[in-house]
């Protein structure tokens, strides 16, 4: 009979631990679910921001007149910078 008493004590201890796990586990799972949902919202928001930045950075090429004017200004600036200062 002592064998059955020890066996029942062991089962009651294991049952206690399983009961504790049974009560704690749903809170852990729901907490993780909340974090995953929050992370998903943040990732979607970041994706929208990156898409807006990419759209802003991919502007079309300027018209040829503007490009030539800008190149002419750059050449004039370079030529002016290369000229030695006038000696007195």
Task: Show the domain range for 50.
Answer: 2-80
Indicate whether 24 belongs to any domain: yes
pLDDT digits (tens, 9 = 90+) for 59-68: 666 666 655 5
Indicate whether 67 belongs to any domain: yes
Query: CA 55: distance to chain centroid?
Result: 19
Indicate whether 88 belongs to any domain: no
pLDDT digits (tens, 9 = 90+) for 23-63: 888 777 777 788 888 999 999 999 999 999 998 888 666 66
DSSP 19-69: HHHHHHHHHHHHHHHHHHHHHHHHHHHHHHHHHHHHHHH-PPPPPHHHHHH
Element (H, E) at 71: helix 64-82
Indicate whether 85 belongs to any domain: no
pTM summary value: 0.39
Indicate whether 86 belongs to any domain: no
Domain count along the chain: 1
């Amino acid at each position: 009979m002592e064998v059955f008493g020890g066996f029942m004590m062991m089962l009651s201890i294991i049952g206690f631990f399983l009961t504790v796990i049974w009560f704690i586990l749903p809170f852990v799972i729901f907490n993780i679910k909340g974090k995953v949902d929050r992370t998903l919202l943040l990732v979607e928001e970041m994706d929208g921001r990156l898409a807006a930045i990419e759209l802003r950075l991919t502007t079309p090429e300027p018209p040829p007149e503007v490009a030539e004017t800008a190149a002419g200004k750059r050449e004039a600036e370079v030529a002016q910078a290369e000229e030695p200062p006038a000696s007195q």
